[in-house]
Chains A and B, each alone.
Chain A
Amino acid sequence: MAKLILSMDNLVLKEIPLNKERTTLGRKAHNDIQIDNLAVSGEHAVIVSILNDSFLEDLNSTNGTFVNGQQIKKHFLQNNDVIELGKYRLKYINEAAQSATQADFEKTMVLRPDMLRKANEPAAAKPAGGAVPAVMAPPIQTAPAAVPAAPALPFGAIQILTGSNIGRRLELTKSLTTLGKPGVQVAVIARRPIGYFLTHVEGARYPLVNGMAIHTQAHELKDHDVLELAGVKMEFSLKA
């Protein structure tokens, strides 16, 4: 379950679990999180929690709501976001994002109409016994790993050695680059995290690498390999 850590001047004041569908923040006493400070509006903001996600919404407060230094009207909270209300700071911690294992990732489950409600009731966090079918268990999921960092693989290029395009250079920056003449002989070079691979796509003849025809399977290319297809020779190279 996600929580907020309330602090002022780097001093932690308390931890607040986000166990309700709506958690209100404001100066007035009826708020779930009361912050008795004149810079905070009576009803300042609200956090709406839906299963593992939480959304922060400013309720037209006088001094505004800030997340990580940016003023927001509505914000989809991410683990470690810092909400600022006047001098107070609320750090958003989402344990689901931290603790779940890889195997839980992206396991598809059915969301039943009553699940949203239950997920927000503290008691439903641990369903009782075998009464609840497996698919109804509240899901635990990790945050998506940050978009995979660009693979360390250096970029490759093709230099045309013969024919009318002699001397032309083709950078292999896309995940797939086709070579050859459509309808006659076509091959594709795939850029993968582990290297560049040449695969035959169409045509009766298979491309040659260093004078040898490749098979139906993808063929890994090495620096300075010489490729030949549709009568044109070209050299593959990897930038250091």
Chain B
Amino acid sequence: MIGTIRDRLNDLPTRQRWALAGVVLLGLLAVPQVSTNFFVMNVFIYAFIFIGLGQSWNVIGGYAGQFSLGHAVMFAVGGYTTAILFIRHGVTPYVGIFAGGFVAAAVGLFLGAATFRLRYHYFAMATLAAALIGKTVGFRWEYINGASGIEYPFAQLGTPWSMMFRDKLPYFYLIGVMALATTLVIYRMDRSKLGMYLRSIDMDQGLARNSGLNVFNYKMYAMGVSSYIAGVFGGLYAQYVLYIDPMSTLRVLRNIDIIIVPIIGGVGTVLGPVVGAFIFIPIREYTRTGLSGGYTGLGWVVVGVVIVLISIYRPGGVLNQYFGRWD
């Protein structure tokens, strides 16, 4: 069924496709008109954050085929940078989130420079080790308050440049616009030469190199873009939760969280992370609250089953056309 829908969509003329995208977008804009329920808003805002994170991972993991297991590090770096710049140095988060993006990109490039020699499982493990180093440091480093994390000063709530809002609606629009902008950037990349280069690295790195492509440089380029996006959304996350600590940003599960979005939606596709986020986040949030108390964790079991089934029957996610040919 999904395959048919996908093929139909692919057959649509460009103009109708944009019209369809516009309709979906207007529908999203209208959500707060229908319900400003705390919980519904929360689900959408988290979905927007995870669209951003999914797109971020997709650049390096999906397009370039480098299976990073350490993206939570860049996410956390962005978040901490934004929070520390604002709370300790009075830099507005409207600047801070982008500064966080740059710091995250620097960390990502460092990580990339160290690990891009490796491929496949080896790269995945090296980035996982980096994630664990990040976690250990995050819990112990006193400059960022170690395990207790950094709290935002509530006295600043609602002041114009603090990006701290009293209700969820501004967050909905702010983070929604950022997720949309990110998706558009990825759309541009998907159609550009860069997208083609990255795909060719994914398909056959040796062949790409022999065709004269500087594989390392393009991987670094992808890692920089990817880490920058992860950092920006880390900043947005910190601004939304108004608290940042290593448990919520650096635990091992956060790395997996980020990857699940494109896995479910579609690895190496523009809309994959969007679809994935809107499948994954509602499952996660509703099972977390609906199955709380004695049933904690069952939601994750459901997600696990979904991932196993998708890996077997739809490797590469529901929207993936390249892997789709395998079935």
Q: Do A and B bind each other?
A: no
